[in-house]
């Protein structure tokens, strides 16, 4: 929601103030067939100073490797000490395939406008994601949010909490 409200904003200081952060990540994505090029910059908010910049090219098949590479570069540029658990999370909290991630992103796009119809579509997309990758924890958390909404406002309230809770618990196990 915050990102949508800041769409089109170009002043790093304004963005940082509204988001309550010290640095912002900017970037661009170019795609030609199966090839993609991502350029990212980490910008210090008050001054606009570029703290880190990277351009990476890859194929769509290696999209998650590209994400890992960029994430590591950002973390290293911030000089953040990470625990073993956090390092593990950065490397493994990605879906098994681009298709699973596509389903997950679609569900999140639908969640931005919480109507009963969108929630049912988001649930279907999340279930497709989990069918493709049953170990993707963010998708289980998304399913919990969707089930909580649907069962609270649109369907049988009696079983709603249980379905949502089950999905949330699975997200923590994954």
What are 78-130's pLDDT values in tens digits? Answer: 766 667 776 666 655 678 888 999 999 999 999 988 888 999 999 999 999 99
Has domain 2-92 been given CATH number 3.30.2290.10?
no
Residue 123 has φ and ψ, to the nearest 5°, of -65, -45
Which pLDDT does position 80 carry in this prediction? 62
- Give the SS3 label for residue 49: coil
pLDDT greater than 60 at residue 157: no
Give 138 or 10, the one with higher predicted confidence: 138
Write down the residue that tokens 């999340």 correspond to.
126
Q: Are 54 and 70 in contact (CB under 8 A)?
A: yes
Which pLDDT does position 103 carry in this prediction? 93
Helix boundaries (H) for 2-83: 2-5, 12-19, 63-78
Which pLDDT does position 43 carry in this prediction? 83
pTM of this prediction?
Answer: 0.49
Q: Which CATH class is domain 98-173?
A: mainly alpha
- Count the residues in the chain: 174
pLDDT greater than 80 at residue 158: no
Which pLDDT does position 172 carry in this prediction? 72
Calculate mean pLDDT across residues 139-150. Answer: 87
Q: Are 44 and 51 in contact (CB under 8 A)?
A: yes
Nearest alpha carbon to residue 135 among 88, 84, 92, 87? 92
Domain ranges of the chain: 2-92, 98-173
Q: Are 2 and 16 in contact (CB under 8 A)?
A: no
């Amino acid at each position: 929601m915050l990102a949508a409200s800041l769409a089109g904003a170009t002043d790093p200081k304004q963005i940082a103030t509204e988001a309550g952060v010290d640095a912002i990540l900017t970037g661009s994505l170019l795609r030609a067939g199966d090839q993609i090029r991502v350029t990212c910059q980490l910008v210090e908010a008050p001054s606009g100073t570029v703290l880190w910049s990277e351009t990476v090219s890859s194929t769509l098949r290696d999209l998650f490797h590209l994400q890992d590479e960029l994430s590591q570069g950002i973390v290293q540029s911030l000089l953040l000490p990470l625990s073993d658990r956090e390092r593990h999370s950065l490397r493994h909290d990605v879906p098994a395939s681009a298709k699973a991630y596509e389903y997950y992103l679609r569900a999140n796009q639908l969640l931005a406008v919480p109507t009963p119809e969108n929630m049912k579509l988001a649930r279907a997309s999340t279930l497709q994601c989990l069918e493709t990758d049953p170990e993707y924890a963010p998708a289980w958390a998304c399913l919990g949010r969707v089930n909580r909404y649907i069962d609270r406002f649109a369907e049988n309230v009696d079983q709603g909490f249980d379905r949502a809770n089950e999905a949330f618990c699975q997200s923590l196990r994954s």
